[in-house]
Structure 1
Amino acid sequence: MNVSLDGYIAAPGDDLGWSSGEGPDSSSSDELFQWWSDRVAATGLSLYGRKLWEVMSSAWPTADQRPGASGAEIEFAGRWRDLPKVVFSSTISTVDWNARLVTGDAVTEITRLKAEDGGPMDIAGATLAGAAMRAGLIDEYLLVTYPVLVGGGTPFFAALDTWVNLALVETRTFPGGVVLTRYETRR
């Protein structure tokens, strides 16, 4: 997920402008966008919390039909639509765009999905990721850190009962000082 240098995925008021090209000196880049698109293409299943699902499903299902859509946006929109998705929410009643809705316990369902071994899964959304973190279900943490301090908002990491030891397996710097770090969980 995108994260500010001070550890937030959204600024106060659920503001994502600092990571979406709207904030001052936002440092968005074609190279980073392509990396995200390739990540979607390599993912077998994407798990969404409600808030991030609403952001993504309002933008990407038809983004390739917008006048002036770039080749990269067209590619990403198609990949996103084709990607199987599970949305976890108790407040919405329907989902679309190759998604299914789970209203029950997220930890139980994520545990079941991991046992199926249907390929790599990504978890998107702070509340959902936090529940998976606390249950020890995350094998890899992938942070795309933006060089911005937002001062508060929705934290990237949930409060944990025990330490989680990690091993750094990849770093990459994108234009504008955006840094990818990927860690594997040491078990």
Structure 2
Amino acid sequence: MRTVTFAMNISLDGYCDHTVFNPGESIHDYFTQTMDDVDLLFFGRVMYELMFPYWSDVAANQSGTADEIRFAEKLTSIDKVVVSKSLQSAGNNTRIIRGNPSGELLKLKQQPGKKISVDSVSLLPELMAAGLIDEFHLVVHPVIVGRGRRLLDQGSLDENLNLKLVDTLVFKSGAVALHYLKQ
């Protein structure tokens, strides 16, 4: 069975609004490396629309810094699934599913292949409750923002999910990458 990972940048106070972070080269490289063993990205619509077409354009036009281009090329080359009832079309190597995210992810998890990376804050509670997330890559940035989307809303989980810390990495910026496995 394939491993399902979840990766996200968050603030010290638990917000994951990408506009408040300045990841820099080392953090882009970190997230690029986390995708080395991934052959499928599983997005919610909102995250998909935040990521694309922006990163597709960076890859196609070679319009970012070297680390941004490496990240964009890796991200755009991987097959994607987007969960959306309203999205009418998606980019290359992207398939839209209309419902039952847990059931669809379970089917994908049972197929042969590399890891699946989930990139959706809105789907996270449902996928965690279904026991589908096996590991977490959280990069905690040294900023308190007090606004935006929280990683998890209050009451979004019925029970605690215990994790085991397996790796940490401290960046020059003061951000810390935490890699956890589900126990």
Are residues 1:174 and 2:174 paired? no
Map of 2:9 onto structure 1 = 2
Map of 1:49 onto structure 2 = 44
Higher helix share: 1
Letter matched to residue 182 of structure 1? H
Q: Secondary structure at the match of 1:80?
A: helix
Map of 2:103 onto structure 1 = 108
130 and 64 in structure 1: CA distance in 2 versus 1, 3 angstrom threshold:
same
* 1:31-50 paired onto structure 2 within 5 Å: 31-50=26-45
Q: Secondary structure at the match of 2:52?
A: helix
Q: CA deviation at 1:153?
A: 2.4
* 1:28-177 paired onto structure 2 within 5 Å: 28-66=23-61, 69-158=64-153, 159-177=156-174
Q: Is the 8 A contact 2:25 2:68 kept in 1?
A: no
152 and 134 in structure 1: CA distance in 2 versus 1, 3 angstrom threshold:
farther
Higher relative contact order, chain-length normalized (CA < 8 Å, sep 6+): 2
* TM-score normalised by L of structure 2: 0.88
Q: CA deviation at 1:71?
A: 2.6
Q: Is the 8 A contact 2:12 2:143 kept in 1?
A: yes
Cα deviations by residue, 1:16-49 (Å, 9 ceiling, x for unpaired): 3212x3xxxxxx3211111112222331211111
Between the aligned partners of 1:69 and 1:164, the Cα distance in structure 2 is: 38
Report the RMSD for the aligned CA atoms in angstroms: 1.6
Q: CA deviation at 1:143?
A: 0.7
Cα deviations by residue, 1:34-81 (Å, 9 ceiling, x for unpaired): 111222233121111111100111211121344753332332222122
Report the identity percentage. Answer: 31
Q: How many residues align?
A: 174
What are the ranges of 5 or more consecutive residues in structure 1 without an aligned counterpart? 11-15, 22-27
What are the ranges of 5 or more consecutive residues in structure 2 without an aligned counterpart? 1-7
Q: CA deviation at 1:156?
A: 0.8
